[in-house]
Amino acid sequence: MRAYFDHNATTPLRPEVLDAMVEVYRDTFGNASSIHHYGQTARQRLEAARRQVGTLIGAKAEEIVFTSGGTESNNLAIFGLAPARPGHFVTSTIEHPAVLQVADELERQGHTVTRVPARASGREASGGEASGVVDPADIERALRPETFAVSLMAVNNEIGTVQPVAEVGKLVRERGIFFHCDAVQAPGRVAVDVEAWNVDLLTLSAHKFYGPKGVGALYVRKGVPLRKVSFGGRHERDRRPGTENVPAAVGMGEAAARVKRMSPTLRDWLEEQVLARIPEAYVNGDRERRAPNVSNLRFPGIEGEAIVIGLDLKGVAVSSGAACSSGAVAPSHVLLALGLSAKDARSSIRVSLGEGNTREEVESLVESLESVVMRLRKLSPAYAR
């Protein structure tokens, strides 16, 4: 039996989503910008998908811009807000590289950037490190008269911590500053509401909630002056040029209409068993304020990648960090931001459950994990006796 526990990297495609996409590929091949029957039929399917995505997050259809995924949406949002003259941008130390590397580029262009820590006061993880939750007070202290935007993720992709988006959005809006939220990991984990969250822009990616890869969306609140960052047409209300990928958008819409909220029951049972059966095992990040499907586990003295390989040989798929960073020599920037040493960061794995996982699969994961960890510890100099 093989079991998949890497749903934060990507989720399997829902059968209903595939069926909807195949139908469009087969029957609705027209260019959605054409004014004839074939084009307008494609346009109707595209706009129906736009409404479905908007409904998922409490937005109007005309506020949804289809993109190629979360990375493009983040780039469009942040670069689209950046002023021509040097300004100030605020984000956190635990953002996805699709935000952090944009922040680096802003600095190269002459802007200044503040990266606030993820250490909400009074909250610590099981090992005593920082919580992985941003304190709104830190965001507030970082704001300046020249601050043009704040970007804060909703749910961290590696440790699952849920950020205080609504609180940050409120204080940022009161100061007339634009607020962007990377919500790629949010659907199915937490309820997403652009009005309650006080966001001006919000990023989604279909393959994180059982939709297709290669399509995402950017919510742009009506009236937000987002400038174009690519050129070649006036598609997507002059936000993003290029012929629309109607089958992918339809797939995203179908997936958005079928999003289900997950329960933490299996995740909690997994952690209970791991902590009881494996000595010196820890959970990274805040244990309370987090998504219901993610557990980031640390086993000091063992390389996380060795655990991932050992589990894969037993038919169990987990991750040693963000999929976008796979192959990187450096330890997770998120775990380093919590205050972990590079050695401890490298000894961690991420287990991210999905809708299809069963109690039987989790039991198999725990048994395999115990076997792999104990075997690797026997081989580790750190545990040599």
* Per-residue pLDDT tens over the stretch 85-143: 999 999 999 999 999 999 999 999 999 999 999 986 555 555 567 899 999 999 999 99
Percent of the chain with pLDDT over 70: 94
pTM: 0.95
- Per DSSP, which regions of 39-169 are E strands? 64-67, 88-92, 112-116, 147-151
Query: Above 60 in pLDDT, residue 76?
Result: yes
Task: Reply yes or no on whether 181 is catalytic.
Answer: no
The catalytic residue among 324, 328, 330, 379 is: 324
C-beta of residue 132 within 8 angstroms of C-beta of residue 159? yes
* Dihedral angle, C-alpha 170, 69, 345, 7, nearest 10 °: 100
**Stretch 17-26: mean pLDDT:** 98
* Per-residue pLDDT tens over the stretch 244-298: 999 999 999 999 999 999 999 999 999 999 999 999 999 999 999 999 999 999 9
Q: Is 74 exposed, middle or buried (0-12, 13-18, 19+ CB in 10 A)?
A: buried
pLDDT of residue 379: 86
More confident residue, 82 or 124: 82
Q: How far is CA 166 from CA 75, 152, 153, in A?
A: 22, 10, 11
pLDDT of residue 222: 96
Percent of the chain with pLDDT over 90: 89
The string of DSSP letters for 248-295 reads HHHHHHHHHHT-----SHHHHHHHHHHHHHSTT-EE-S-SSSB-TTEE
Query: Above 60 in pLDDT, residue 14?
Result: yes
Q: Is 187 exposed, middle or buried (0-12, 13-18, 19+ CB in 10 A)?
A: buried
pLDDT of residue 1: 80
* Per-residue pLDDT tens over the stretch 299-310: 999 999 999 999
pLDDT of residue 322: 54
Cβ-Cβ contacts under 8 Å for 309 (sequence gap 6 or more): none
Cβ-Cβ contacts under 8 Å for 384 (sequence gap 6 or more): none
* Per-residue pLDDT tens over the stretch 158-213: 999 999 999 999 999 999 999 999 999 999 999 999 999 999 999 999 999 999 99
